[in-house]
Amino acid sequence: MALIITDECINCDVCEPVCPNGAIAMGELIYGIDPGRCTECVGHFDEPQCQVVCPVQCIPPDPAWPESRDALLAKALRLKAGSAGSAGPAGPAEPSVPAAAAPGIAPGMQAERVPAAESDPGLGAECGALRESRPAPS
């Protein structure tokens, strides 16, 4: 499952550069995680690198995004395939919804409110179906 940054974030900036998927970006107030790009670091590292470096341990798993390890690995492979052939490594994640759409809410949280196709067009049917089957966030 994707991870989520809570409002305990102190904006220390150390997690963004360690994410292998460019899933972390600064939101309007604090950093956020794009669940369409977070693989819990599966396919890259043995443990989530953002959790390793976060000094206040404010990056728990997001129960709104249940994904098996196989699904996370498939997502990682799709992200790698999507970045192959580009001029360089994947850059910071683009917020899935403009910050103005939900002031004060980090990009990762905003992403929960949009369909998979808008959040990450590169995702395949597996993750898209997974998202559509989720209950709507409260």
**Site residues for ligand SF4 per CB under 6 A:** 3, 5, 9-15, 18-19, 21, 23-24, 31, 33, 38-41, 48-50, 53-54, 56, 58-59
Closest CB to ligand SF4 among 54 and 74? 54
The distance of closest approach from Cβ of residue 52 to ligand SF4 in the complex, given in angstroms and rounded to an integer, is 8
CB nearer ligand SF4, residue 18 or residue 102: 18
Q: Which of 38, 127, 138 is nearest to 90 (CA)?
A: 38
Tell me the CA end-to-end span of the chain in Å, nearest whole number.
Answer: 18
Least separation in angstroms between CB 16 and ligand SF4: 7
- CA 38, 43, 84, 17 dihedral sign is positive
Distance CA 44, CA 11 (A): 24
Q: How far is the CB of 20 from ligand SF4 (least distance, A)?
A: 6
d(CA 59, CA 85): 31
